[in-house]
Amino acid sequence: MRFDEAAATWDESPARQERSRLLAQELIPIIQTNNLKTGLDFGAATGLLSVYLMDHLEDITLVDVSEGMVREAGRKIKQLEAKNIEAHHQDLLAEPLSRKYDILYTLMTLHHIRDTERALSVFYNHLRPGGYCCIADLDQEDGSFHAEFPDFDGHNGFDQRALKVLMEKVGFTAVHSHIFFSIEQNGRQYPLFLMVGKRLH
């Protein structure tokens, strides 16, 4: 999948804007209720989701493996004069950050990573005790969502119960999930879930 090439027009999708906005509405109460200050946006793309959260977190770090996406995120940060957001072209699975965060959130990224358990472990290690991991992704589907991308080698969404087990295995507690959005594509609906877990220690 060619994310570098898609970066320039990434934010033009109304559905992409809407799911980012609705996910932000889900995350803001978690941030406010728990007095969270710092956020890590994993697979941030152009930072569309984090823009909706920039007034609710003191400090946000965007990370993405696509250089094109990070370049667009940098332009957006400069345009918005967002002093509390910084963007990094980095693969956290290969090169973790040296700091920990109050909340890590990721939208439509985890299904691109083959080793889910390792990714969840990396998420856990980037959170401080008391921090929250918030994963928004595709509910399990039949493979048709990425049918137009023959090079796609990720997951066809996730079984929420199985993902919950993996989150608990790496150490997260109080894991729960629900459907918060549905993508309409080629006349079909593809539900997105939000799964939240907490690092206690």
Taking CA atoms, 116 is separated from 77, 85, 143, 170, in Å, by 30, 27, 17, 11
Q: What pLDDT digit, counting tens, does each position of 41-97 carry? A: 999 999 999 999 999 999 999 999 999 999 999 999 999 999 999 999 999 999 999
Query: Does the pLDDT of residue 2 top 90, yes or no?
Result: no
Helix (H/G/I), strand (E/B), else coil: 14: helix
CATH code assigned at 138: 3.40.50.150
How many folded domains does the chain comprise? Answer: 1
Structural domain including 192 reads 3-198
Residues 91-106: tens digit of each pLDDT: 999 999 999 999 999 9
Local structure of residue 154 (DSSP, 8 states): S
Task: Give the whole-number percent of the chain exceeding pLDDT 70.
Answer: 98
Burial of 113 (0-12, 13-18, 19+ CB in 10 A): middle
Cα–Cα distance, 153 to 155 (Å, whole number): 7
What's 140's DSSP letter? P
Asked if pLDDT for residue 123 goes beyond 70, the answer is yes
